[in-house]
């Protein structure tokens, strides 16, 4: 299995944005030094209380310049927020700068907030995402190509530069709803999943539907599934099970509020599944979160939990969110990273 860190370059109260970036760079350096396999960058817009990471390509290039080994991933690049040809150029450039270390995680985002800020129609996000994927891969893999779609058209264009990786950087797509898993499986794109909005048993069913769609479409081999999940590790079981509660629960309460806030919008699908998610998140207890939605504990407990999740969700990688809720201290983040690298990862390599 691969193990990476999920990074948003979090904002903290009472300090400058330059200091927010400085903490992020320290964690980048630690990820490289401690032995994590990947750094996954989260795209966040118009939310100064939460994060300062908006430009994944710019920050990814800076990460490439200060590291030699660690893979550089997007978790995720929200494709409809930019022109797909421009994105093909920038990702190929980052792949060149990093020497072929780009992992391209993509999605449409389950929240319309960023679309509102950019003045884009969220109701078209699914169609735009799949059209953008087709354009980007075609630009990467053809010397020249033409395309005429619903949202974009290009005539006899040549992408410069081409990516280092052949045929192209690995793709990974976020899926969250029952309907999306078979669609991604049919296209045989590796998965990004989470257990923030669903319990593990439901996500297990979704992964099964993804794999069934892969097989029905004629794709061989096991599924390739990456899990984003909050992680807190301590040598003390009591600390690990209590210290992250306030911060982690803040994230789940915020997520429930974001889902509820879309109620009544005509550009967001409203189904029983989405309503159930909002209701569940509003009434979550910390005991439920510890059992179902996070990985917390001593290194030994974390090893057992990762084994369980790997078996049930067919995982090939973990993307650890060390500061879910933005209230975990920098020292606690560093300790979790070091314990993960020194005492957990060896059990899976």
- The pLDDT, as a whole number, for residue 347 is 98
Closest CA to 10 of 347, 336, 341, 325: 325
Q: Is the pLDDT of residue 63 over 60?
A: yes
- The pLDDT, as a whole number, for residue 13 is 96
Report the b/e string of 128-152 with b at 16+ CB within 10 A. Answer: bbbbbbebbbbbbeeeebebeeeee
- The pLDDT, as a whole number, for residue 265 is 72
- The pLDDT, as a whole number, for residue 270 is 57
Residue bearing the bigger pLDDT, 300 or 276:
300
Span 199-225, average pLDDT: 96
- The pLDDT, as a whole number, for residue 273 is 61
Closest CA to 231 of 36, 13, 20: 36
Q: Which tens digit of pLDDT belongs to each residue from 308-331?
A: 999 999 999 999 999 999 999 999
- The pLDDT, as a whole number, for residue 262 is 72
d(CA 32, CA 323): 18
- The pLDDT, as a whole number, for residue 263 is 66
Residue bearing the bigger pLDDT, 223 or 266:
223
Using CA atoms of 178, 183, 188, 190 in order, give the dihedral in degrees to the nearest 10. -40
Q: Are strands 191-194 and 225-233 parallel, antiparallel or unpaired?
A: parallel
Q: Is the pLDDT of residue 254 over 60?
A: yes
- The pLDDT, as a whole number, for residue 280 is 77
Question: 168: burial class by Cβ within 10 Å (0-12, 13-18, 19+)?
Answer: buried
User: What three-state secondary structure class fits 99?
Assistant: coil
Q: Is the pLDDT of residue 275 over 80?
A: no
CATH number at residue 97: 3.20.20.30
Q: Which tens digit of pLDDT belongs to each residue from 143-153?
A: 999 999 999 99
Looking at the 3D structure of the chain, how many domains does it have? 1
E strand or H helix that includes residue 145: strand 145-148
Q: Is the pLDDT of residue 187 over 70?
A: yes
Average pLDDT, the chain: 95
Q: Which tens digit of pLDDT belongs to each residue from 215-250?
A: 999 999 999 999 999 999 999 999 999 999 999 999
Range of the domain at 219: 2-348
Span 180-187, average pLDDT: 97
- The pLDDT, as a whole number, for residue 256 is 86
Q: How confident is the model at residue 111 (pLDDT cuts 50, 70, 90)?
A: confident
Using CA atoms of 250, 251, 254, 255 in order, give the dihedral in degrees to the nearest 10. -150
């Amino acid at each position: 299995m691969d193990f990476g860190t999920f990074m948003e370059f979090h904002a903290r109260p009472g300090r400058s944005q330059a200091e927010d970036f400085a903490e992020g760079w320290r964690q980048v350096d630690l990820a490289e030094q401690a032995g994590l396999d990947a750094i996954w960058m989260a795209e966040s817009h118009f939310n100064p209380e939460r994060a300062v990471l908006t430009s994944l390509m710019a920050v990814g290039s800076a990460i490439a310049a200060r590291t030699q080994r660690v893979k550089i991933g997007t978790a995720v690049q929200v494709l409809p927020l930019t022109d797909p040809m421009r994105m093909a150029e920038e990702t190929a450039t980052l792949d060149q700068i990093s020497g072929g270390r780009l992992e391209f995680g993509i999605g449409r985002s389950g929240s319309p907030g960023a679309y509102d800020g950019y003045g884009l129609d969220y109701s078209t996000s699914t169609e735009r995402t799949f059209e953008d994927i087709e354009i980007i891969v075609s630009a990467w893999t053809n010397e020249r190509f033409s395309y005429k779609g619903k949202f974009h058209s290009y005539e006899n264009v040549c992408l410069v530069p081409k990516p280092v990786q052949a045929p192209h950087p690995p793709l990974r797509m976020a899926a969250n709803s029952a309907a999306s898993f078979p669609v991604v499986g049919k296209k045989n794109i590796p998965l990004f999943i989470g257990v923030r909005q669903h319990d593990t048993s439901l996500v297990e069913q979704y992964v099964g539907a993804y794999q069934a769609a892969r097989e029905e479409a004629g794709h061989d081999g096991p599924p390739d599934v990456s899990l984003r999940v909050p992680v807190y590790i301590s040598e003390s079981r009591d600390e690990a099970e209590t210290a992250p509660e306030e911060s982690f629960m803040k994230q789940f309460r915020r997520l429930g509020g974001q889902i509820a806030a879309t109620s009544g919008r005509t550009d967001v699908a409203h189904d029983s599944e989405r309503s159930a998610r909002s209701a569940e998140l509003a009434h979550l207890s910390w005991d439920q979160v510890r059992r179902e939605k996070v990985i917390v504990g001593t290194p030994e407990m974390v090893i057992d939990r990762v084994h369980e999740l790997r078996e049930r969700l067919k995982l090939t990688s973990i993307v650890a969110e060390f500061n879910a809720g933005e209230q975990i201290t920098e020292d606690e983040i560093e300790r979790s990273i070091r314990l993960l690298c020194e005492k957990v990862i060896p059990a899976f390599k």
